[in-house]
């Protein structure tokens, strides 16, 4: 094992920090976009899937932020999301392509990391991103039982409100 570790290219802490910050910023743009998209998706099962995806992505951001701070860096500032236009189908299709592109941008870079802790964390983020892409792919195909089947037909009528109210 020591022989292999000696032959591996080492990513210096500054390079690792930069990679994590870049990935964080890229992930943040996706999360912000998904939040905007969720406000435009009224179909109950699709919106529920967006809520699930956003919750997982926020967890990814938390992991990345903690890793960045542990390396002595600062978490990138939040960027304003782009407006989400088009039909529900068009919005979901764009989010599908965005998720796939995210994985493709980062897969090779993550594979080169020698820091096992960070590589495994990022592999998990990419794996879950592929799962999110699968959800979006199923939604584009019109499948509504993305997170499981409703046993009583609950949620099969009506739509989700685009905004929430505060009492």
**Domain regions of the chain by residue span:** 13-75+85-140
Taking the C-alpha atoms of 44, 39, 134 and 49 in order, what is their torsion angle to the nearest 10 degrees?
-40
Higher pLDDT, 26 or 146: 26
Q: What is the pLDDT of residue 44?
A: 85
Q: How far is CA 144 from the centre of its chain?
A: 20
Mean pLDDT of 65-79: 93
**For the ranges 2-11, 37-46, 155-164, which has the lowest average pLDDT?**
2-11
Report the alpha-carbon distance of residue 119 to residue 127 in Å, rounded. 12
Average confidence score pLDDT of the chain: 85
pLDDT value of position 41: 92
Share of the chain above pLDDT 90, in %: 66
Please check whether the domain covering 13-75+85-140 is classified as CATH 3.40.50.460: no
Rounded Cα–Cα distance for residues 39 and 119 (Å): 33
Tell me, what's the pLDDT at 162?
59
Q: Is the pLDDT of residue 87 over 80?
A: yes
Mean of pLDDT values over 25-34? 96
> Which residues are registered as beta bridge partners of 159?
43
Integer Cα distance of 145 and 43 in angstroms:
12
Model pTM score: 0.81
Q: Phi first, then psi: what are they for 78, rounded to 5°? A: -75, 135
Closest to 25 (Cα-Cα) out of 36, 37, 17, 14: 17
């Amino acid at each position: 094992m020591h022989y292999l570790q000696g032959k591996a290219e080492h990513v210096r802490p500054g390079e690792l920090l930069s990679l994590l910050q870049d990935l964080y910023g890229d992930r943040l743009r996706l999360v912000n976009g998904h939040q905007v998209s969720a406000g435009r998706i009224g179909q109950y099962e699709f919106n529920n899937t967006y809520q699930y995806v956003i919750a997982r992505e926020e967890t990814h951001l938390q992991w990345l932020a903690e890793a960045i701070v542990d390396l002595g860096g600062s978490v990138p500032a939040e960027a304003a999301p782009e407006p989400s236009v088009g039909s529900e189908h068009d919005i979901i299709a764009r989010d599908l392509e965005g998720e796939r592109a995210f994985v493709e941008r980062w897969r090779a870079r993550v594979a080169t990391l020698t820091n096992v802790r960070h590589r495994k964390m990022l592999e998990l983020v990419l794996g879950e991103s592929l799962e999110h892409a699968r959800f979006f792919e199923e939604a584009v195909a019109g499948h509504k039982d993305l997170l499981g089947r409703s046993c009583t037909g609950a949620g099969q009528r009506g739509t989700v409100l685009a905004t929430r109210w505060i009492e």
